[in-house]
């Protein structure tokens, strides 16, 4: 029994922001019905691994464990089917361009008139109100407009986007948090509510400390420069003989052992590095010194040395190395999706552990519209009506 057992979610979302929030709820035990456009589906179905491998990782990652119903919400019959579904649901999720659901006659007001307990979650790029409310975009817009890209790279170099859809992902977590809070509030009020999140707003929240620093000083903290501009310590990555290694601060009590185990005790007596907090110049000087030392050994060799010395470190790993780490599997951070055509697909698991109501990552992936007839019959539609809907292109 998952924590959300008995909760029904209608996922009318696209790509990542909405669907990933719904996927997390499915992992928590909710019954999630994916509502997709007939004949086309979620746009994520059309972003393949490569030109020769047409499998769609974005769709797989954000839609496991859901039932799929194909309904054209733009058609009157499709609108009515969705409203009938909404009467049975607890949550609706969408992340179309702002105003799209309203234009189809599926606004919060219209849906809540049929089901006052509905929690109606919408995701946008720039926010639900204001001059940019109707603008379209995607993850890159959130990273750019939210300020994240300005923090990447090194001084004098070009900024670069983060290599994952981080704005979408963080917004999906904001959406899931808002929905769960609304579920709790409904238990006392008896009413649902609208929940709005955006890519830009969630990016700003993800940089709360950095924005606070800017608000206090009037100056942007700066570029990452292999580490973090607000952490004034040996908190950065350094090159090794075959890769990179992260040093996680080297607190003062650990410094003597650290400098000894890397055979540079002289750095421990260097007055520049004696203080508790380093200026950006001193931090850069220490990074330069350590970048001379660590290329002498491989990342694995340094990990063994630092582990034995009780130091704080982490190897900079690629996905293959993460996938090969038993720690990730034992904690459920990685899982396997069993597909009838593709076989076992290794993928992300769940990041949350709960003792009484454990999360369970979805183990199946529905084909487009696979569950349409079954769900419509659950709503009380007769087979003749379903065939009429199909003839009219509503399903």
Domain ranges in the chain?
8-206+326-391, 234-316
At 338, is the pLDDT very low, low, confident or very high (cuts 50, 70, 90)? confident
Q: What is the mean pLDDT of residues 226-237?
A: 95
CB 38 within 8 A of CB 369: yes
CATH class for the region spanning 8-206+326-391:
alpha beta
pLDDT of 60 > 90? The answer is yes
Q: What is the pLDDT of residues 105-132, one digit of tens each?
A: 999 999 999 999 999 999 999 999 999 9
At 275, is the pLDDT very low, low, confident or very high (cuts 50, 70, 90)? confident
Using N-to-C axis directions, what is the helix angle for 17-27 and 166-189, rounded to 10°?
60
pLDDT of 194 > 90? The answer is yes
CB 371 within 8 A of CB 68: yes
CATH 3.30.1540.10 fits 234-316, yes or no: yes
pLDDT at 276: 87
What are 362's two structure tokens?
């979805």
pLDDT at 350: 94
pLDDT at 3: 96
Count of residues for the chain? 395
pLDDT of 382 > 90? The answer is yes
Please list, in sequence order, all residues whose beta carbon lies within 8 angstroms of the beta carbon of residue 9, skipping any fewer than 6 positions away.
22, 25, 26, 30, 31, 32, 33, 89, 90, 91, 92, 93
Q: What is the pLDDT of residues 5-29, one digit of tens each?
A: 999 999 999 999 999 999 999 999 9
pLDDT at 46: 95
Pairwise CA distance, residues 31 & 63, whole Å: 12
Q: What is the mean pLDDT of residues 227-232?
A: 94
What are 9's two structure tokens?
């979610």
Pairwise CA distance, residues 101 & 99, whole Å: 6
What are 50's two structure tokens?
């490569």
Catalytic residue among 11, 72, 139, 168: 168
Please provide the average confidence, as pLDDT, over all residues in the chain: 95
Q: Decide whether 8-206+326-391 matches 234-316 in CATH topology.
A: no
Neighbours of 256 (CB within 10 A): 12
CB 127 within 8 A of CB 195: no
Rounded to whole angstroms, what are the CA distances from 11 to 139, 192, 216, 353, 386? 19, 17, 41, 24, 21
Q: What is the pLDDT of residues 299-336, one digit of tens each?
A: 999 999 999 999 999 999 999 999 999 999 999 999 99
Is 168 in the active site?
Answer: yes
pLDDT of 289 > 90? The answer is yes
- Regarding pTM above 0.85, the answer is yes
Q: Which of 167-176, 206-215, 357-366 has the lowest mean pLDDT?
A: 357-366
At 243, is the pLDDT very low, low, confident or very high (cuts 50, 70, 90)? very high
Radius of gyration of the chain (CA): 25
Pairwise CA distance, residues 69 & 44, whole Å: 16
Q: What is the mean pLDDT of residues 272-291?
A: 94
Q: What is the mean pLDDT of residues 210-230?
A: 95
Pairwise CA distance, residues 284 & 289, whole Å: 9
pLDDT at 364: 87
pLDDT of 1 > 90? The answer is no
Number of H helices and E strands in the chain, helices first, is 17, 11
């Amino acid at each position: 029994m998952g924590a959300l057992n008995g909760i029904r979610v209608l996922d009318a979302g696209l790509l990542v922001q909405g669907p990933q929030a719904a996927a997390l709820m499915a992992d928590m035990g909710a019954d999630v019905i994916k509502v997709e456009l007939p004949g086309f589906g979620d746009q994520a179905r059309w972003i393949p691994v490569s030109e020769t491998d047409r499998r769609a990782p974005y769709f797989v990652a954000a839609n496991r464990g859901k039932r799929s119903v194909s309904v054209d919400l733009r058609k009157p019959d499709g609108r009515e089917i969705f409203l009938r579904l909404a009467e049975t649901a607890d949550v609706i999720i969408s992340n179309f361009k702002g105003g799209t659901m309203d234009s189809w006659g599926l606004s919060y007001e219209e849906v809540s008139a049929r089901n006052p307990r509905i929690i109606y979650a919408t995701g946008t790029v720039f926010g639900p109100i204001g001059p940019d409310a109707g603008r379209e975009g995607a993850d890159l817009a959130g990273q750019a407009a939210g300020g994240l890209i300005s923090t990447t790279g090194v001084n004098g170099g070009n900024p670069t986007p983060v290599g994952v859809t981080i704005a979408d992902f963080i917004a999906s977590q904001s959406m899931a948090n808002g929905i769960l809070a609304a579920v709790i509030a409904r238990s006392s009020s008896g009413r649902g509510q609208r929940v709005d999140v955006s890519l830009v707003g969630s990016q700003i929240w993800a940089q709360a400390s950095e924005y606070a620093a800017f608000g206090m000083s009037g100056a942007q903290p700066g570029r990452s420069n292999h580490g973090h501009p607000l952490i004034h310590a040996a908190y950065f990555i350094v090159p090794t003989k075959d890769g990179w290694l992260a040093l996680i601060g080297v607190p003062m009590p650990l410094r003597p052992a650290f400098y000894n185990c890397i055979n540079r005790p002289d750095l421990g007596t260097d007055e520049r590095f004696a203080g508790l907090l380093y200026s950006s110049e001193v931090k850069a000087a220490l990074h330069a010194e350590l970048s001379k030392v660590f290329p002498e050994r491989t990342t694995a060799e340094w990990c063994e040395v630092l582990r034995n010395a009780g130091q704080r470190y982490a190897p900079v790993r690629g996905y293959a190395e993460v996938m090969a780490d038993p720690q990730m599997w034992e904690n459920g951070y990685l899982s396997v999706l069993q597909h009838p055509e593709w076989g076992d697909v290794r993928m992300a698991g769940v990041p949350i552990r709960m003792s009484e109501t454990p999360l369970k990552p979805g183990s199946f992936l529905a084909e487009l519209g696979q569950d349409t007839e079954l769900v419509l019959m659950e709503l009380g539609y007769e087979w003749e009506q379903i065939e009429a809907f199909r003839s009219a292109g509503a399903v």
